[in-house]
Structure 1
Amino acid sequence: MARGLRWWTVILFLCSGFAALVYQVLWVRELGLLFGNTAQAAALAIAVFFAGLAAGSWVWGRLAPRLRSPLAGFGLLEIGVAITALGHFLLYDLYHAIYPALYGLAGDLAAADLALRISLATLILFPPAFLMGGTFPMIGQFMVRAPRRLATTGTALYALNTFGSVLGALAAGFFLPMALGFSGTYLLAIAIDLSVGAAALILARGQAAKRACADPLTSPSKPATPTLEAGGLSSRLVLWIAFASGFVTLAVEVLWTRLFAQVLQNSVYTYAIVLVAFLLALSLGSIASHGLARIPRFNPRHVLLALLTIAAAVVAVSPWAFHSATAGLTYVGSGAGWAEYLTAVSGIALLVMVLPGVMLGAVLPYLLRVVQAANPQPGPAIGQLVAANTSGAILGSLAAGFVLLPTLGATGSLIALGAIYPLLAVAVLAREPLPRWQRWTYATPLLVAAVALAVFRPGEWNIARVDEAAGERLIEAREGTHATVAAIKRDGNRLLRVNNYYTLGGTGGLESERNQTLIPMMAHPEPQSVFFLGLGTGITAGTALSFSVERLDACELLPEVIELAEAHFEPWTQGLFEDPRARVRAQDAHHCLRHAEHKYDVIISDLFTPWRAGTGNLYTKEHYQQARQRLEEGGLFVQWLPLYQLSADDFAIIARTMDAVFPQVVAWRGDLFADGSILALVGTEEGVTLDPEALIRHGRRLAGNAPHPEAALLASALRMYAGRITDSGLFEDAPINTLDRPVIEYQAPRTQRRVQAGEASWLIARNLGHFYEVLAERNPHHEDPYLARVRAAHPPALGYVAAGRHYYHYNVLRNEGNGALAQRHLQAFFDLTPFSSPPQEAESPTTRSGWEE
């Protein structure tokens, strides 16, 4: 083959691997948006995608030898991938048109809903994946010019394609979505595939014109060799090894991802780093197998035995490596800036995954060396091995996520997976031309190792981090399909913690958690139905049962959170899990709201950490549009924001996005803490105003109908009102956060690291106080249309709004040690309200929702 043709083909195959990983990243995200960001939805996307790859590898691999030009076949497959992928846009619109009706027909039947999801996922993913699966066998059939080159050329191609996947994962995770948007990124992948296909067809035509006679390996008259049997190993055993290799490799990836979720920021960037490190290790494994394949004096069976044995050892030892590298689940890169943080995460990921990943990645490509002696056709040999490997990968990912994690946990599962390779090594040993006693001599240690790995469970590691120095005690921890969740007791309070460093709230912040319901419910004249996006401890949702609601729906992504909230927070949830008016479901909140059967008077969106992967979708324009459609007339959509996790720029993006959807957006404070407040952005239709009589009525009911003066009830509520966002002109220059350009999801992680490095600050303390003053100046309370009824019926009550700002400044200044100025603001608070003493408010809770670092 001419050198130029060979190098052009190599470049095209590299680009093909790049585009394939971009597709995969985008498809997993897309199906997460369509079906919910659950473990089941992600597993469904991966399973359908891999099933297409496996089927395509098998079918196109068998067809490759019959084609006059496999290079042209590769080009046509690439064009086919681009065309079928382009149909995604049509299918996406079709989905939104027909899925609600089909979802309604499925009702509560889990099997019917699952069948519907599988059908739609197959319609979207299977055709391009099926074509994509044929690209490696076609290129292999074209590039392998002699039977003795199957191993060396095949392993090089595998390494090349995997390295292209590394580049694709890196680009899709870090750069392309913000530069081009997700639609633009998808179109770029399509354009790459079209270009690769067209270039391959041009090269194939040029080669055909120069070739005087057909290559014997690509002649359509030469039939494909149907067997992989070689070197004493049956084709069935070879395929089982390929299958088991895929099973273990994908299972290990799922488990490592869970382990790293315990110690990382868990943004789109850190997930991308883990994926890139894993793919890079697999690529290095392919290079290692290429080097081994080039040494003819090595017996392939013996090398395979060595690879299987070493792979078992390094996979089983990887939990110890992880715990050692992270110093026992210590947060990686604490206090580091953005660049330093990415460097720290990359270093840990490579340190933990490279050696095991290399060994895992070497097994499959080296099987080409094992079967090379049988002189198989390159296309069928590659196709069968890849199909078996990919089929194993499907089952491995499903088994790890839904069987191994809940039963054995991440570390126990990794050790147990190490038992598979010694069993495969024993099967290979059984084919060695040795006396039986000698085979048993070698096999016995492997069998003992397999049994030991299968039953051994490390007892010295805790799956949940507990800070004993802070007085913490573990109540219960669960490793489930979605996350590791722990109920912890600290200073007499209880809190829920997810993946070791994210607190969902607790009893130490009762007032703050209850205010998330009390404030918006009191602002509605008579709320009958309420929806909660996110559950946490259940304290916030349970507070709604203090009102005369007829229906309460709550959706929580993590089923483990629901289980522990019900088990350990029941005394503070006001009967949430037993009340017939309430229904709590383990579903993705956005998906749950979109397909809700009812409309609601109040929709309350929980405090979602903006930089966590997936939560940025809950701050998008599309999500707010969906929420607006689910509101009853006069209803309120409430977006609570953790200002102690948002910069002023991040807050501006969210406020601008909500203001682009709702005709009116107002802000309510959730507390008056100095060092970390929460704020609610409340979206309504135009003309919705605050009813002071409703505030009085709700206040008396919540106080047990005690004879409190109207002024005191109004002052208690109105001091929490911050102002009208709409028409303030404060956020006109901020970008709008959309699903296509998720600014928050990609900007917030950088902001968080900048704050940790002291290069930026959260919207708290003086920063927040300044915002309150500017907002009041831009939209004065005596002109605020939302306060029109308050202004008409209770004119002095406008002073209660201003009093809330004074009390906030008092807390900030007192916290800073500026007592004299703090007292002036406290006196202004007394002058504007009927109170004669400061409100009895708790200190800023130590168990508030948020990421702990």
Structure 2
Amino acid sequence: MSRQSPLFLAALALLFVSGFAALVYQVLWLRELGLLFGATAQAAAVTIAVFFAGIAAGGWFWGRLAARFERPLLVFGLLEIGVAATALLHFVLVDAYHALYPAFYALAGDNLALNTLLKAALAFTVLFPPAFLMGGTLPMMGQHLIRQPEDLGRTGSLLYALNTLGGASGAFAAAFILPLALGFAGAYLLAMGLDLLVGVAAVLLALRLGRLPAPTPADAGASRAAPARSVGTGFRRGLVWWLAFLSGFLTLAVEVLWTRMFAQVLQNSVYTYAVVLILFLAALAIGASLANRLAARRLDPVAVTAGLLALSGVALATTPFSFHAITDGLAYLGQDDGFVRYIVSVFVQAGAVMLLPAILLGALFPFLLRALERDDVIPGTAIGRLVAANTVGAILGALVAGFGMLALFGLWPSILMMAGGYLLLAVVTLGVHPLRHRLAWSAACASLLLPLLVVDSNQFNRLQLAPNERVLELVEGAHATAAATERDGHRLIRVNNFYRLGGTGAMDSERNQARIPLLLHPDPQSVFFLGMGTGITAGAAVDFPVAEITICELLPEVIHLAERHFNEPAKGLFDDERVRIRAEDGRNCLAGDRRQHDVIVSDLFTPWKAGTGNLYTVEHYEIVKSRLAEGGVFAQWLPLYQLSRQEFETIARTVASVFPQVVLWRGDMYPRGPIVALVAYGDETALPVEAVEANTLAMAAPGTDPEATLAALMRFYIGNIGDSGMLSNGPLNTDNRPVIEYGAPRTQRGEDDWFVGMDLARFYEALADAMPPGRDPYLEQLNDRQRGFVTAGLSYYRYVVLLSEGHEQAAQVFLEDFLERTPFDFAPDPASDDSAPTGWEAGR
């Protein structure tokens, strides 16, 4: 079949669309199973491993059968239809798992191995059938289009390039277009529709073509009987399979390491993770095109393979240096760029680091098809087996790099070790050459490898530190690179260089995140913290007479650092017998554990970071509500300095759509870095004043005026946002349409203003006008003077905002109103924007 014929081009188009749909599936499956299993590295590894295992098994199985089919294009079409049909089971199985997960969770408990086994069983049920069918599509198309043995390398690499390019396009659509345009369910149905369309088109095309002559030789049995002669210089088949396996191992290991590398300098939203994946896939497609050109030149396959391996090793070894140079020592990329310019900048700068090495890495696997060109070759079988060997290696490479090398050796040494692996493979490949050629190549590769053995990876800055900041401890693990640092006597935790999880510099604010919801409950016995960070927030619960404190923190590296460096400011949290800490996704913990809690506290989460948007959805809040005991209190803390007003209102609407009672509390009085809590109840309720007075008095120094302690708390109350009518109609944040996860990254890049300062003060005023304290049903048990404490808090916030903007005279008016309503003496520091005194800490 001519390469320019319409039928040949149509077949290539079908393979491109098939690759597009496959990557849409993969992205959506990773996200959906992440919601079920938790956003942990182990859960992602299970999902990827099962998906790749299906591809590998399908490639081997269908490739083995390829020669038996007279119409391989027809089989290709039926496989595509089968992918669409089996993918439909996803909806049924996922819903069933949602219902059964608590029982599975109770069965597995804290047993990591059993937990992983259960997750693998579900992933296998959902992913393996369609992935198994996907694995057969490339071998069947190869069997259809490759008519001569000498075409295996050239045409096979072209098919791989088109399929991979389709995958890169699918990854782009799944990240930037489909979720917000169609929702995840709509995007999934689109992928199914594309597979169905490709399948039907292939079946109709195959029926029109009829039976094609079998690839030369016509009789496979006769081919096996005939003496096999090598094309070119010859290549031992056993070595080809091992090279395919090791190529997959090294390539996926490098992808894992590069993803961690770029996580140190990027926004780490769904978009930036997609950029790295898209670039990697595009580079593999270009590499396959390079392999296609090399195969067409009929060059010595052994020499070309060894050359590709050696060049891959050298190019990979340069990436730590180029990355360090382009990022100016791990500086945050695109600090002041708008969203579109930022994404373009990430494409350009990430491409400058990884494109050339990834192209060379991507050329190796498809070029190995050239090494398999023999008279007895069966194209579909050769492609299927090569895909299987490469994919099995990819599974192991991803697991070894993510769970072994990062923790044992660290990022930079691991990258250099991968580079050395390519160079060593180049030497091994030369084993079929004459001795003198082998010695010459070995000496050349050894000379390239030698610098890698003496490079001091510590020369690369691991963190972008502020002036006077020093690293106390750095941990590189499967989940993240985390560090405890100290600056000017204050300690904090950094994750992936730039993400700060709080520290000792704002302990009052952090402790308020636990104290306020705990003080609002009459008798809290069971407390659940979704997220831990430094542990300072959860540590504030130690002062309360609670029976149990459960904490779920996603990153085990953070738990390690918090225990070693923050136990004292966390009030001995890690030594308290009532405390149970789990290294697990918080949403996953709540969904699986049937226990109910009196207070559930959801920590501050960076809203634009990939995965955190799942903690602001309707489905998550329904899980939270189901785990609240009668009269329970849920506090969703929000960093307003990382949200626009629109995003804040979206989250507030989402909470209010699940909980019948939602009120708003401050965590501090900062004008530029404020945090607030959406405090929600499972039933309509009023603030239990007598219990709250008793709680606040128990926290205060002996002899403190009870009214003063109540006043100190009520200054943090903002208003009844659920009953105010201020939450205008708008979208809810759901698992299917995650408007926060996809909208917050754009806000962070400067397309909107943060909800702070004067804009926030005006919102507080509007809320007070819409629902004055005197008409607020939540405050019905307070008397008029006690309701005045709420007004005092608003006046104080107006004061600090006006003062921060230089309006001292106007600020003084609100300060006087605050002091008039305050039942104890207080002299604010004009040089500080710190919060008003908490009262219950006076004299402690």
Fold conserved between structures, TM > 0.5: yes
- 1: CA distance, partners of 2:515 / 2:454: 51
- 2: CA distance, partners of 1:623 / 1:760: 26
Please list the CA deviations of residues 831-850 of structure 1 after superposition, one character each: whole Å capped at 9, or x if unmatched: 2221332468994589xxxx
Please list the CA deviations of residues 216-240 of structure 1 after superposition, one character each: whole Å capped at 9, or x if unmatched: 4596866886999764321110011
Q: Is the 8 A contact 2:230 2:373 kept in 1?
A: no
Query: CA 1:839 to 1:522, structure 2 compared with 1: closer, same or farther past 3 Å?
Result: farther
Equivalent position to 1:7, from 9, 24, 28: 9
Q: Is the 8 A contact 2:148 2:215 kept in 1?
A: no
The offset of 1:83, in angstroms, is 0.7
Please list the CA deviations of residues 353-380 of structure 1 after superposition, one character each: whole Å capped at 9, or x if unmatched: 1100000000001111112145411101
Partner of 1:727: 723
The offset of 1:300, in angstroms, is 1.6
- 2: CA distance, partners of 1:379 / 1:586: 45
Partner of 1:80: 82
Q: Which moved more, 1:734-743 or 1:144-153?
A: 144-153
5 Å-filtered alignment, 1:339-350, equals 339-350=340-351
Q: Which moved more, 1:330-339 or 1:374-383?
A: 374-383
Equivalent position to 1:766, from 751, 758, 772: 758
Please say if 1:465 is aligned against 2:464: yes
Q: Is the 8 A contact 1:85 1:190 kept in 2?
A: yes
- 1: CA distance, partners of 2:375 / 2:262: 42
Q: Is the 8 A contact 2:528 2:550 kept in 1?
A: yes
- 2: CA distance, partners of 1:217 / 1:678: 71
Q: Secondary structure at the match of 1:683?
A: strand
Q: Secondary structure at the match of 1:467?
A: coil
Q: Secondary structure at the match of 2:712?
A: helix
Partner of 1:268: 270
- 2: CA distance, partners of 1:498 / 1:680: 24
Q: Which moved more, 1:319-328 or 1:214-223?
A: 214-223
Query: CA 1:394 to 1:454, structure 2 compared with 1: closer, same or farther past 3 Å?
Result: farther
Partner of 1:781: 773
The offset of 1:685, in angstroms, is 2.4
Q: Is the 8 A contact 2:689 2:781 kept in 1?
A: yes
Q: Secondary structure at the match of 2:780?
A: helix
5 Å-filtered alignment, 1:557-636, equals 557-636=554-633
Partner of 2:514: 517
- 1: CA distance, partners of 2:230 / 2:775: 85
Q: Is the 8 A contact 2:659 2:682 kept in 1?
A: yes
Q: Is the 8 A contact 1:70 1:139 kept in 2?
A: yes
Amino acid at match of 1:338: F
The offset of 1:98, in angstroms, is 2.1
The offset of 1:247, in angstroms, is 0.6
Query: CA 1:780 to 1:219, structure 2 compared with 1: closer, same or farther past 3 Å?
Result: farther
Query: CA 1:524 to 1:223, structure 2 compared with 1: closer, same or farther past 3 Å?
Result: farther
Q: Secondary structure at the match of 2:471?
A: strand
Equivalent position to 2:91, from 89, 92, 113: 89
Q: Which moved more, 1:412-421 or 1:686-695?
A: 686-695
- 2: CA distance, partners of 1:351 / 1:444: 30
Aligned positions, number = 830
Partner of 1:697: 694
- 1: CA distance, partners of 2:308 / 2:229: 19
Alpha-carbon RMSD across the aligned residues, in angstroms, is: 1.9
Q: Which moved more, 1:93-102 or 1:764-773?
A: 93-102
Amino acid at match of 2:386: L
Q: Any gaps of 5 or more consecutive residues in structure 1?
A: 847-853
Q: Which moved more, 1:827-836 or 1:497-506?
A: 827-836
Q: Is the 8 A contact 1:65 1:218 kept in 2?
A: no
- 1: CA distance, partners of 2:243 / 2:320: 24
Q: Secondary structure at the match of 1:798?
A: helix
Partner of 2:826: 837
Amino acid at match of 1:822: A
Q: Any gaps of 5 or more consecutive residues in structure 2?
A: 836-844
Q: Is the 8 A contact 1:62 1:224 kept in 2?
A: no
Amino acid at match of 2:730: A
The offset of 1:776, in angstroms, is 1.0
Amino acid at match of 1:775: L
- 1: CA distance, partners of 2:754 / 2:34: 30
Q: Is the 8 A contact 1:137 1:383 kept in 2?
A: yes
Amino acid at match of 2:581: V
The offset of 1:688, in angstroms, is 1.8
Please say if 1:442 is aligned against 2:441: yes
Please say if 1:649 is aligned against 2:646: yes
- 1: CA distance, partners of 2:620 / 2:644: 21
Partner of 1:397: 398
5 Å-filtered alignment, 1:295-334, equals 295-296=297-298, 298-334=299-335
Partner of 1:123: 125
- 1: CA distance, partners of 2:311 / 2:241: 20
Q: Is the 8 A contact 1:246 1:393 kept in 2?
A: yes
- 1: CA distance, partners of 2:372 / 2:613: 48
Q: Is the 8 A contact 1:65 1:224 kept in 2?
A: no
- 2: CA distance, partners of 1:739 / 1:224: 55
Equivalent position to 2:472, from 470, 475, 483: 475
The offset of 1:447, in angstroms, is 4.3
Partner of 1:670: 667
Partner of 1:850: none
Please say if 1:681 is aligned against 2:678: yes
Q: Secondary structure at the match of 1:613?
A: coil
- 2: CA distance, partners of 1:225 / 1:655: 70
The offset of 1:751, in angstroms, is 0.9
Query: CA 1:18 to 1:438, structure 2 compared with 1: closer, same or farther past 3 Å?
Result: closer
Amino acid at match of 1:782: G
- 1: CA distance, partners of 2:450 / 2:230: 29
Residue identity (%): 52
- 1: CA distance, partners of 2:798 / 2:534: 30
The offset of 1:108, in angstroms, is 2.8
Please say if 1:201 is aligned against 2:193: no
Equivalent position to 1:740, from 736, 741, 750: 736
Amino acid at match of 1:662: F
Please say if 1:659 is aligned against 2:646: no
Please list the CA deviations of residues 667-707 of structure 1 after superposition, one character each: whole Å capped at 9, or x if unmatched: 00111112221000011023322122222212221124x12
The offset of 1:428, in angstroms, is 1.8
Q: Is the 8 A contact 1:464 1:484 kept in 2?
A: no
Q: Is the 8 A contact 1:65 1:223 kept in 2?
A: no
Amino acid at match of 1:729: G
Equivalent position to 1:184, from 175, 183, 186: 186
Amino acid at match of 2:760: L
Please list the CA deviations of residues 266-323 of structure 1 after superposition, one character each: whole Å capped at 9, or x if unmatched: 1111111111111111111011111111112x21211111111101101111111111
Q: Is the 8 A contact 1:619 1:737 kept in 2?
A: yes
Please list the CA deviations of residues 419-444 of structure 1 after superposition, one character each: whole Å capped at 9, or x if unmatched: 11222222221111x2x355334324
- 2: CA distance, partners of 1:12 / 1:40: 34
The offset of 1:795, in angstroms, is 2.7
Please list the CA deviations of residues 84-143 of structure 1 after superposition, one character each: whole Å capped at 9, or x if unmatched: 111111111111222221221223332222211111111111111111000000000001
Q: Is the 8 A contact 1:695 1:713 kept in 2?
A: no
Q: Secondary structure at the match of 1:329?
A: coil
Q: Which moved more, 1:369-378 or 1:262-271?
A: 369-378
Q: Secondary structure at the match of 1:331?
A: coil
Partner of 1:282: 284
The offset of 1:802, in angstroms, is 0.6
- 2: CA distance, partners of 1:711 / 1:812: 27
Q: Is the 8 A contact 2:652 2:678 kept in 1?
A: yes
- 2: CA distance, partners of 1:147 / 1:843: 78
Q: Secondary structure at the match of 2:457?
A: coil
Q: Secondary structure at the match of 2:494?
A: strand
Q: Is the 8 A contact 1:68 1:218 kept in 2?
A: no
Q: Secondary structure at the match of 2:670?
A: coil
The offset of 1:726, in angstroms, is 1.1
- 2: CA distance, partners of 1:221 / 1:409: 50
Q: Is the 8 A contact 1:50 1:390 kept in 2?
A: yes
Amino acid at match of 1:783: R
- 1: CA distance, partners of 2:93 / 2:176: 27
